[in-house]
Chain A
Amino acid sequence: MDTFVEWLRATPLSQAIVYRIWIWPLCETLHFIGLALVIGVAGFFDLRLMGFFKQVPIDDARELMPLAVGGFLVNLTTGIIFVIGHPEQYAHNPAWWWKFGFLCVAGLNALIFQFTVGRQTVGLRAGTDTSMAVKSIGVVSLISWFAVLYFGRMLPFLGSAF
């Protein structure tokens, strides 16, 4: 791991990210805007899965999801830039690994939804409640995205990132 960190740190790309002082603040700002899109849009969809906003048909709520995916891709890109720029502050940072873990939970949960119970929600009319299985998917998703946010914000405090 440390060999990899040192190699990454020495790459021209890593140096370029660190020595252009505007890159880090710019990426952080984009990371926060992306965060809001993921929490807001995916969170809204999760709440619908949980049985809130019943007047909104799930298929219609789903039409907003590309915005959450867009926000996530912004954050994936800027997140990779942070890791390339300063790999040493994440490699041994417990908060980073917790964040990564919850990202995996959120991703797996979304895949499970897509390939199993998700089908139940297609064509579900306004006013109809969701099954317990669908509600659980919504709860797990909402909790994992807030956990991702929590451990991201805790990077400087549980570990020593800035």
Chain B
Amino acid sequence: MMAWLEATALATWTRQSPSIWAYPTILTLHTVGLGIVVGANAVIDFRLLGFAPRISLPSLSPLFRMILWAFLLNAATGVVLFMSDATAKSRQPVFYVKLTLIALALWNTNLVRRGIQRDGPIGAPLNSPRYRRLAAVSLVLWAAAITAGRLMAYL
């Protein structure tokens, strides 16, 4: 299965093409997506933790759409990067750690999104410990996902 993935035309091109548009650009897009997903999350999380308290949280909701698009970019580029080196990557435990952390972080982000949608117009509930906890967990999970991703190059 992994060998077959690696042998597909897309995987072979990504791995072997000397073109700047192959591996280097796909990897760069993956980093751009990371910056937007984690950065936009950080804006919302730090706001929930008490930074810039006068910003109304519902006014930040377009950030969730940006997070979604950037995540889709990273899912797509991530699949291609994985395919290009499937055998080795599928044997790396830290890769599965990374996927798990991303799944948990996304679930957490969605809880925040739905919470702001529901409680945003009322406002007050968003200052509760529940949301501060969600925000802190979000920052930790996304930072851990970055760490696991970086460590894939070393472990």
- B28, B37, B56: the one within 8 Å of A150 (CB): B28
| Cβ–Cβ < 8 Å partners of A36 in chain B | 34-35, 37-39, 42, 142, 146
Chain A residue nearest in CB terms to B28:
A153
Residues on B with beta carbons closer than 8 Å to the beta carbon of A37? 39, 42
Q: Are A29 and B43 in contact (CB under 8 A)?
A: no
Find out whether the CB atom of B34 lies under 8 angstroms from the CB atom of A32.
yes
* A37-B42, A55-B56, A67-B46 given; A157·B20 CB < 8 A: yes
* A113: interface (CB < 8 Å): no
Given A60-B54, A64-B47, A157 and B42 touching (CB < 8 A)?
no
A155-B91 Cα distance, complex, nearest whole Å: 27
Query: How many A-B residue pairs lie within 8 Å, measured between CB atoms?
Result: 102
Tell me if A81 counts as interface (CB < 8 A to partner B).
Answer: no
Identify whether the interface residues of A are mostly helix, strand, loop, or mixed: helix
Task: Find chain B residues with CB under 8 A from A35 CB.
Answer: 31, 34-35
Contact A67 to B51, CB < 8 A, known contacts A36-B34, A153-B27: yes
Binary per-residue interface labels of chain B (139-150) against chain A in the complex, 1 for a CB within 8 Å, 0 otherwise: 000110011011
Inter-subunit contact A29/B59 (CB<8 Å): no
| A24 (CB) vs chain B CBs: closest residue | B154
User: What are the nearest 3 A-B pairs in CB distance?
Assistant: A40-B39, A39-B35, A36-B38
Residues of A whose CB lies within 8 Å of any CB of B are: 25, 28-29, 32-33, 35-41, 43-44, 52-53, 55-57, 60-61, 63-64, 67, 146, 149-150, 153-154, 156-158
